[in-house]
Amino acid sequence: MSRHHRSPEWYRARRVVRAVITARLTRGEHVPCVNCGRPIVLGERFDVGHIIDADKGGTLDPSNLGGSHRSCNRSDGGRAGAIKTNAASRRARRLPRW
């Protein structure tokens, strides 16, 4: 989890967006996943994800946040985290980048 996701602003924005998405799902509205575009179904557990990632300049504004399937959001973050970790590890061990 990044420092960005530990901030009080993130928790506040996440709570607001989650309430809005849940209300839309309850009313029967179509809510697409911000990662894959498939619909999020009422009763399905979901994460709040960034439309434009924070490390690429995205903000915590609710207009930049939306519902995301847990598998979509966590696999996306896992890839980004792995890239950073592996790059740092290669630099620390002075290995070439392939």
pLDDT digits (tens, 9 = 90+) for 39-67: 999 999 999 988 888 778 888 888 999 99
Mean predicted confidence (pLDDT) in 1-13: 79
Domain ranges of the chain: 3-91
Mean predicted confidence (pLDDT) in 30-43: 93
DSSP assignment letter at 52: S
pTM over 0.75: no
Contact 49, 73 (CB under 8 A): yes
State the first-to-last Cα distance of the chain, in angstroms, to the nearest integer: 26
